[in-house]
Copies of this chain bind each other. A is one copy, B any other.
Amino acid sequence: MAESSRRLRPEPRYGTRPTMKDVAARAGVGLKTVSRVVNGEPGVTPDTERRVQEAIEALGFRRNDSARVLRKGRTASIGLVIEDLADPFYGPLNRAVEEVARAHGALLINGSSAEDPEREQELVLALCARRVDGLIVVPAGHDHRYLEPEIKAGVATVFVDRPAGRIDADAVLSDSFGGARAGTAHLVAHGHRRVGFIGDQSVIHTAAERLRGYRAAMADAGLVIEPGWISLGTTDPDRVREAVAAMLDAPDPVTAIFAGNNRVSVTVVRVLAGRARPVALVGFDDIELADLLDPGVTVVAQDAATLGRTAAERLFQRLDGAADAPERVVLPTRLITRGSGELPPAH
Contacts and interface: CB of A to CB of B under 8 A. Distances in A.
Interface of A: 5-6, 9, 11-17, 60, 62-67, 69-70, 72-75, 77, 84-88, 90-92, 94-96, 98, 102, 107-112, 125-131, 133, 148-150, 152-154, 266, 269-270, 273, 287-294, 305, 320-321
A115 to B, nearest CB: 13
Nearest to A102: B111
Contacts of A152: 60
Contacts of A84: 95
Contact of A91 (B60, B85, B148): B85
How many copies of this chain?
2
B94 A85 contact: yes
Given A91-B88, A154-B13, A130 B321 contact: no
A127 B66 CA distance: 11
B91 A131 contact: no
Contacts of A289: 266, 269, 287-290, 293
Nearest to A129: B65
A119 to B, nearest CB: 9
Nearest to A86: B95
7 contacts: A13-B153, A64-B70, A65-B130, A66-B70, A88-B91, A109-B109, A289-B289
A321 B9 contact: yes
Contacts of A291: 270
A102 B305 CA distance: 26
A131 B66 CA distance: 7
A150 to B, nearest CB: 7
B95 A91 contact: no
A285 to B, nearest CB: 12
A64 B5 CA distance: 29
Nearest to A13: B154
Given A16-B154, A110-B110, 17 more contacts: A11-B74, A13-B153, A17-B153, A62-B149, A63-B129, A64-B70, A65-B131, A66-B69, A66-B70, A86-B91, A86-B92, A86-B94, A86-B305, A91-B91, A266-B288, A273-B292, A289-B293
